[in-house]
Amino acid sequence: QSVLTQPPSVSAAPGQKVTISCSGSSSNIGNNYVSWYQQFPGTAPKLLIFDNNKRPSGIPDRFSGSKSGTSATLDITGLQTGDQADYYCGTWDSSVNAGRVFGGGTRLTVL
Amino acid sequence: QVQLQESGPGLVKPSQTLSLTCTVSGGSISSGSYFWNWIRQPAGKGLEWIGRIYTSGSTTYNPSLKSRVTISVDTSKNQFSLKLSSVTAADTALYYCARDALTYHSDGSGYSYYFDYWGQGTLVTVSS
């Protein structure tokens, strides 16, 4: 069971917008920065968003992140079939079991 | 462009020690504010952080694996390594090495970390 909670799957049609949520607590999301990763089958995860809402060079502005309280959100607008992948949120957990933590992942299906 | 490459045996017997090495190219493992991490992913499942090392040798491990994990660094070879002892079938997974970029935020919000570079991953199967 993951420390951060994500919906197992989301789906939307091409061109639409989808939102992926990531819920945590004050020991992780509430007091630390969140990053998001995109993973296609058979490949390593790729950094999509860091510091809650910043995009690395080369990531389209269709991808955006935000954080409020103990939850974070990844929005993808103008969905493309090539966005079909697994998405993971991650952060640092400052509890007694300190360390890096991830959400369980969300599979995005572009219908 | 920084690149990471995992290497090591793909098959380990139960109760033995899993040993993997990550070779970093395109940059010195000693330079900058970076942690060097191991992360694993069982087939069809999510990501699990194993632990990390700073170039000073300082380590932090996942509490659930801490008793079995050792991560070390060899700056002369630009490599860092993972040892996981007393393995069982539950340790069968794709193992990734990844760089953790450390940023200090002067607005008082502290540090942020994010995995900016990943290796391609290496599959380790625990079986007799």
pLDDT digits (tens, 9 = 90+) for A47-84: 999 999 999 999 999 999 999 999 999 999 999 999 99
Transcribe B32-94 into DSSP letters: SSEEEEEEEE-TTS--EEEEEEETTS-EEE-TTTTTTEEEEEETTTTEEEEEE-S--GGG-EE
Predicted local distance difference test score (pLDDT) of residue A56: 95
Rounded Cα gap, residues A26 and A68, in angstroms: 11
Please tell me which residue, A21 or A111, carries the higher pLDDT value: A21
Q: Do B109 and A33 touch (CB under 8 A)?
A: yes
Predicted local distance difference test score (pLDDT) of residue A98: 81
pLDDT tens track for B72-118: 999 999 999 999 999 999 999 999 999 999 888 888 778 889 999 99
Find chain A residues with C-beta within 8 A of B110's C-beta. 32
Retrieve residue A13's tokens.
């049609």
Amino acid letter at A47? L
Name the residue facing A101 among B37, B49, B105 (closest C-beta).
B49
Q: Is the pLDDT of residue A97 over 90?
A: no
- Specify the residue for token string 């951060």: A4
